[in-house]
Amino acid sequence: MISSGGSAAIGIVFWVVAARLYTPTVLGRTTAQLAAIVLLAALAQLSFGSIFERFLPVAGEYTKDFVRRAYLLCSVFGLLFGAAYIELGFSNSFLPRGFVWKAVFVVAIDLWTIFALQDSVLIGLRSSKWVAVENISYGAVKLALLPAALLVSSSQGILLSSIAPLVPTILAVSWYLFHHRIPRHAAAKLSTEPLPSTRNLVTLALAQYASILSSVFLPSTVTLIVIQRLGPVANAHYYLPSIIALSLGMFTWNIVRSFLVEATSEPGELRRHANSTIRALAVVLVPSVLLGYIFAPTYLRLFGHSYATQGTSLMRMMLISLLGSTVMVFYSAFAWYDQKVWWMTVRNVANSLLYLVLVYVLIAKHGINAIGIASLVTSGVTIVVFLPMAVRRYRRT
């Protein structure tokens, strides 16, 4: 929660400064670049984030090889996905021409892949405090580099300032993991259950990967739809409100991730950990959504008057829709704990397809507010589908 809060606060300041230093057109194109990088990095992770959080607590002496091989495999896929994305022409609308920027784009995907996986490794090894140190330090350096990056490139400064801090961050965390935390974890021999077979592991990974294709791919696709249908300025007006809403969503996601790790490490305390998770979600979500709804114009006015004018309704709808996504995320922790994720995946994919269809159909008439409408509708469907399932599973703890 400290990691999410600190990163969100620094991130808002970062985008406030970026909105003042760069034109809406540049900001819109850069957010499309970052959305594509995050999308491809999420695909390149091959579901190892969730796998680490579920099985590293019981991996024992296999932890080091498990993590190292996953890093290598995901890095290869990151390079392949990045090269394919450029070769197929998907980046033509926002990436500058020339080999250098294409190479920077592909390398950034690989860096972001490892950067994201490191969080899951730290959480899975019950070292979440270092996630806060890692992400807040990265955000602070990124913010500090933003004005200097403008001198290097007036059109790509935001991208450069976002990529450069990844290198020292990855090196520092890797040194800590492989020289200190992983050896201690392996020596402790705290395994509470056997690791799944390769077949079961692949089945779980495929199910989670299908969820990633829906829940991660679609928001990034929306960014591309906005920039192509409405232009880069509209994308800037959409992206900044969504950053605030999604930052709040990361609070709930990180709470549930820690719940999964603790439940795996202490299966006899499942009910106690579930109760703590529910209390934490309520304490974080309810006042945050309420205050965010009331003061949405005030927050957005920090970026500029046009952002408040164009993005207030969207931000309010996205904040309300977090109620549904929180229910789904809470249920997903139980699904992973039970190693039964396919039904969750099918429902998640269907919900995500509904979201995309609504955005595509409504965007011509409602502009960026179509995204908020789609979020509200799919949130309601999610509550209807996942809340009864989550309640039934909770009662069996």
Of residues 394 and 204, more confidence is placed in 394
CA distance 138 to 87: 30
* Residue-level pLDDT at 117: 93
Residue 189 has pLDDT above 70, yes or no: no
pLDDT at 264: 80
- pTM value is 0.70
CA proximity to 273, closest of 380, 362, 397: 397
More confident residue, 194 or 335: 335
Asked if residues 111 and 117 have their Cβ atoms less than 8 Å apart, the reply is no
If phi > 0 it is left, if psi is from -120 to 50 it is alpha, else beta; for residue 119 that is: alpha
- Binned at pLDDT 50, 70 and 90, residue 174 comes out as very high
Contact 51, 63 (CB under 8 A): no
Q: How far apart are CA 17 and CA 147, in angstroms?
A: 9
Residue 249 has which token pair? 């969503």
pLDDT (tens digit, 9 = 90+) per residue, 150-167?
A: 777 777 788 888 888 999
The pLDDT of residue 284 is: 86
pLDDT tier for residue 56 given thresholds of 50, 70 and 90: confident
What's the mean per-residue pLDDT of the chain? 84
pLDDT tens digits for range 238-266: 878 887 888 788 778 888 888 888 888 78
Say if residues 18 and 239 touch (Cβ distance below 8 Å): no
Please write the tens of the pLDDT for every residue from 211-228.
777 666 677 678 778 887
Neighbours of 37 (CB within 10 A): 25
- Contact assessment for residue 93 and residue 25, using Cβ atoms and an 8 Å cutoff: no
Least confident of 22-31, 55-64, 365-374: 22-31
Q: How confident is the model at residue 317 (pLDDT cuts 50, 70, 90)?
A: very high
**What percent of the chain clears pLDDT 70, i.e. is strictly above it?**
96
Residues 49-60, mean pLDDT to the nearest whole number: 82
Q: Where are the beta strands (DSSP E) in 52-108?
A: none
Rounded Cα gap, residues 74 and 83, in angstroms: 14
Across 286-304, average pLDDT: 88
Residues in the chain: 397
Q: What are phi and psi for residue 111, nearest 5 degrees?
A: -65, -45
| Mean pLDDT for the stretch of residues 179-204 | 76
